[in-house]
Amino acid sequence: MITSRNIGAVAAAATLLAAAPLSAIFETWTWLVQSAIAVAVVAGVAALTRLVRAPLWGQVLGMVAALVLALTWLFPSGSELLTFLPTPATFGHFADLFTGSMQDMRSYGVEVPDTDPLLFITVLGVGGVAVLVDLLAVGLRRPALAGLPMLAIYSVPVAVYVNSVPPVPFVVGAAGYLWLLVTDNVDRVRRFGRRFTGDGRDVDVWEASPLAAAGRRLAVVGVALAVALPLAVPGMTSGLLDTLGGGTGNGTGRAGAGGSSGRIDLFASLAGQLNQSEVADLVKVTTSEPSPFYLRYAVADELRPNGFQARNPSGRPVNRDLPDPTERAGRGVQQTPYRATVEVTKSLSMSLMPVYAEPVRTDDLNSNWLYDPNQQVVFSNRENSRDRKYSFDYIRSTYTPAALRAAQPLPADHPVRRQLTATPGPVPEVEELVKSLVQGKRTDYDRVLSIYQHFSADNGFSYRLSTESGSSGQDIVNFLTNKVGYCQQYAAAMAWLVRSAGIPARVAFGFTNGSKRDGDTYTLTNLNLHAWTEVYFDGIGWVPFDATPTYGVPGSTRSAWAPDTDAVEPSSPDTGATDTSADPDASAGPTGSDNADRDTDSGLSLAGETPAEQAPVWPWWTAGLLALLALLAIPALRRLALRRRRGSRAAGAARAATPADAAPVDGGRLMVVEADANAARADAHAAWAELLDTLVDFQVRVDRTETPRATADRLVREAVSDDVAAVGAARLLGRAEERARYARDPLTGEPLVPALRAVRGALAARADRRTRLLAAVLPPSVLLRWRTALADSSGRMVALTGRARYRLLRWNPRRLLADRAAR
């Protein structure tokens, strides 16, 4: 029983550890506290039920009940008994929280704040996993399977962070899982009664079996590999997961059950922001463009029965090369490069980043920010736009009506047309209206223009913010009949109608230019949020049309290809018009001064627009190649240095040993002065070491049990027998080393260096080409020595850690307890 309770506690702790990845999603740690409470309650009840020997189903029921009680206490609805006994109203509250959590998931990007619905769903999930893990690990004794529910928790950040997941929480979770496995297996082994060891001695109760060391090392290596490998593999970016996520998301309607987290209902937030009574500055944008078109951040291009929706964007990091729109330049299309700096305030927090269409280069944005070239939006799955400041270069394209008229209709099987003209089932009123509008129009542009002009004051359309929002088929019909709405209805209705006419269209979201302007800096508030229509023309791209009446939208602009249909009306829209007209005069000066005000970095970046300024890649390649070569050359250089040092030693010796130093004594034997003897010894040793290295290099066996004489004899016998000079040289080297090691007087004055050279030459002549190459480039002697040194040091390290561990184990609480129990 005690061991079961142990495993139960470990299972609970492992569940909490496995929940660590959720920390990447929440802004604060409230979730952890609440999850810990729920898990603790579940584990406590599980232990209690086991104490009374309840059957397995009883344990599960008890744990589920405990989870419900914990949830009731943590998320009160006010109608509980004794604050933790749930009533039917509590469950209604739970259902609300659940629905709310779905909505919150869509409306918040990571990291999310502590909202009750999100905390509720988190605690529910972690608690549920705790129940499952306890059931699997303790009830069924299958702790390996408990990894699956734990993995389920880990999959949440994986789904949210599309391109990469922080590795540290994974390590924590994996550690928890391994802990659970280890506890279970230790328990299993202990049931054998006697514990096995690798080295034949007994193991105390407190002590880990030496056999477990291999398992621990394997586990550490496994986890490290699992973390490091995905980090090392390049190109694990958004693509695959993102399309999967987009494919499985099932709608984002109000009633929506499910839907992928992090998706934002653009229309809902737009309506919400526009209806807010208090005005907050969201964005401050400075641009070199005299009268910029709208700043945009999102696109809804998926038309479902309940309206236009945003698809999950997918793309490449924004700080790499962005697609170049100038390829599409043609007659009647004018493209001008500008530069803008955007400063997002604290009030705007979303995973999308407002930019002008179409950015070609960005500064100050890291690779967590991605650019979707189709939707032309900048987004991130990990970061947040809050408090961010960044600059970008963009190309503004303007079109003449003639150019648009010249664009050919897209072929019916073109993917863009197939995808972006889809409407969910025919709406008869719309079909009829479109038919009447496009009748007799010969080009796409004329058809679009006709639909665009339909939303004019002449046709009775007017602007009012307090309209029922929505963009579903029925909402569109209502709007077309009532002719009262705001930008959402205008943009969606026009896109719908254009699609019905067989031309790709979508709804874009962004900011108008607003009414607060200082030089060429625009301060944009929540009231400047706007939606408009974009229509696709073959060979030209996406062209914006804003059908919303200008008087309803402060700071709206119109273009040459979509003139203001209500221009005759002398009402508030003129503010926008005057703004526009005033722009050229105002911007010429301020642009310059503003450039001067910018820090040098931006100034340089501005100058760096020309392609020549782009940093060339080849120096890096060359440097890398050189570094690699240098790395490869290190062994050979080391060998050369060694040979030179030994060579100079031996040569110096030959020079020093002049006949004057040696006097013939005792019948021809030489008596050598002591200092010279030491030098001669060192020389002989150097020459011998060099000879051994040479042997290793040319793959002649070197035997540690052989004496110098035996080695020289073997060398003569096996390797250099054909070469008389080399035979003499080898014997000389052997004799010199032997005398230096074992005799009273070493040999002096012998030509050791030429002898070495002779042996080396003979060996090289005998070796095959591969051996020669290896000896020159990657000398085995050096590599061997390094390997030996590495092995030695690691061996020392193991011994040191072993001793340290033993000392630490002296204070192991388990050992102390066991000792006391034994006493």
How far apart CA 697 and CA 640 sit, in angstroms, is 12
Q: Which is nearer to another protein, 396 or 681 (CB)?
A: 681
Single out the residue of 370, 497, 547, 696 in contact with another protein (rule: CB under 8 A): 696
Return the exposure string of 617-640: e unless at least 16 CB atoms fall within 10 Å of the residue's CB, then b: eeeeeeeeeeeeeeeeeebeebbe
Instruction: Tell whether residue 236 is a contact of another protein (CB under 8 A).
Output: no
CB of 738 to another protein, least distance (A): 6
CB of 187 to another protein, least distance (A): 24
Q: Which is nearer to another protein, 583 or 737 (CB)?
A: 737
CB of 683 to another protein, least distance (A): 9
CB of 379 to another protein, least distance (A): 57
Instruction: Tell whether residue 388 is a contact of another protein (CB under 8 A).
Output: no
CB of 237 to another protein, least distance (A): 47
CB of 693 to another protein, least distance (A): 6
Q: Which is nearer to another protein, 258 or 795 (CB)?
A: 795
Instruction: Tell whether residue 223 is a contact of another protein (CB under 8 A).
Output: no
Q: Reduced to 3 states, what is the DSSP secondary structure of residue 800?
A: helix
Write the burial class of residue 772 (CB in 10 Å: 0-12 exposed, 13-18 middle, 19+ buried).
Answer: middle
CB of 803 to another protein, least distance (A): 5
Q: Which is nearer to another protein, 85 or 671 (CB)?
A: 671
CB of 680 to another protein, least distance (A): 11
Instruction: Tell whether residue 704 is a contact of another protein (CB under 8 A).
Output: yes
Tell me the two tokens of residue 629: 């070569």
Which span (68-76, 479-487, 563-571, 641-649) binds another protein, by CB under 8 A?
641-649
Single out the residue of 598, 741, 757, 772 in contact with another protein (rule: CB under 8 A): 741
Tell me the two tokens of residue 367: 């690779």
CB of 788 to another protein, least distance (A): 5
Q: Which is nearer to another protein, 99 or 707 (CB)?
A: 707
Q: Reduced to 3 states, what is the DSSP secondary structure of residue 512?
A: coil
Binding mask 784-823 for another protein (x = CB under 8 A): xx--x---x--x--xx--xx--x------------x----
Q: Using DSSP bridges, classify how beta strands 333-344 and 281-287 pair: parallel, antiparallel or unpaired.
A: antiparallel
Tell me the two tokens of residue 12: 């609970």
Instruction: Tell whether residue 204 is a contact of another protein (CB under 8 A).
Output: yes
Q: Which is nearer to another protein, 579 or 690 (CB)?
A: 690
Interaction residues for another protein, span 656-695 (CB under 8 A) = 666-667, 669, 681-682, 685-686, 688-690, 692-693
How far apart CA 156 and CA 173 sit, in angstroms, is 13
Reduced 3-state DSSP string for 20-61: HHHHHCECCCHHHHHHHHHHHHHHHHHHHHHHCCCCHHHHHH
Number of residues interacting with another protein: please give it, by CB under 8 A. 45
Tell me the two tokens of residue 702: 């070197």
Interaction residues for another protein, span 137-176 (CB under 8 A) = none
How far apart CA 353 and CA 388 sit, in angstroms, is 9
Closest CA to 288 of 531, 605, 613: 605
Q: Which is nearer to another protein, 455 or 688 (CB)?
A: 688
| 821 CB neighbour count, 10 Å cutoff | 9
Which span (70-78, 106-114, 331-339, 642-650) binds another protein, by CB under 8 A?
642-650
CB of 754 to another protein, least distance (A): 19
Binding mask 759-788 for another protein (x = CB under 8 A): ----------------------x--xx--x
Single out the residue of 53, 194, 744, 823 in contact with another protein (rule: CB under 8 A): 744
Single out the residue of 202, 413, 585, 674 in contact with another protein (rule: CB under 8 A): 202
Q: Which is nearer to another protein, 140 or 789 (CB)?
A: 789
How far apart CA 290 and CA 588 sit, in angstroms, is 8
Q: Which residues 6+ apart lie within 8 Å of 89 measured at CB?
A: 77, 79
Tell me the two tokens of residue 303: 């038309």
CB of 673 to another protein, least distance (A): 17
8 Å CB contact between 262 and 160: yes
CB of 207 to another protein, least distance (A): 9
Tell me the two tokens of residue 651: 């040569």
CB of 775 to another protein, least distance (A): 14
Single out the residue of 195, 709, 731, 772 in contact with another protein (rule: CB under 8 A): 709
- Which conformational region is residue 625 in: left (phi greater than 0), alpha (psi within -120 to 50 degrees), or beta? alpha
Provide the CB-side half-sphere exposure for 638 (13 A, CA).
16
The β-bridge partners of 284 are 343, 523
Instruction: Tell whether residue 706 is a contact of another protein (CB under 8 A).
Output: yes
CB of 630 to another protein, least distance (A): 24
DSSP conformational letter for 138:
I
Instruction: Tell whether residue 748 is a contact of another protein (CB under 8 A).
Output: no
How far apart CA 291 and CA 571 sit, in angstroms, is 21
8 Å CB contact between 324 and 314: no
CB of 210 to another protein, least distance (A): 9
How far apart CA 782 and CA 642 sit, in angstroms, is 10
CB of 745 to another protein, least distance (A): 9
Q: Which is nearer to another protein, 516 or 643 (CB)?
A: 643
Reduced 3-state DSSP string for 409-461: CCCCCCHHHHHHCCCCCCCHHHHHHHHHHHCCCCCHHHHHHHHHHHCCHHHCC
Binding mask 320-359 for another protein (x = CB under 8 A): ----------------------------------------
Single out the residue of 68, 135, 494, 642 in contact with another protein (rule: CB under 8 A): 642
Interaction residues for another protein, span 402-441 (CB under 8 A) = none
Helices (H), ranges, 657-723: 674-697, 708-718
Q: Which residues 6+ apart lie within 8 Å of 816 measured at CB?
A: 206
8 Å CB contact between 434 and 500: yes
8 Å CB contact between 522 and 579: no
Task: State the residues that interact with another protein by CB under 8 A.
Answer: 201-202, 204, 642, 645-646, 666-667, 669, 681-682, 685-686, 688-690, 692-693, 696, 702, 704-707, 709-710, 738-744, 781, 784-785, 788, 792, 795, 798-799, 802-803, 806, 819
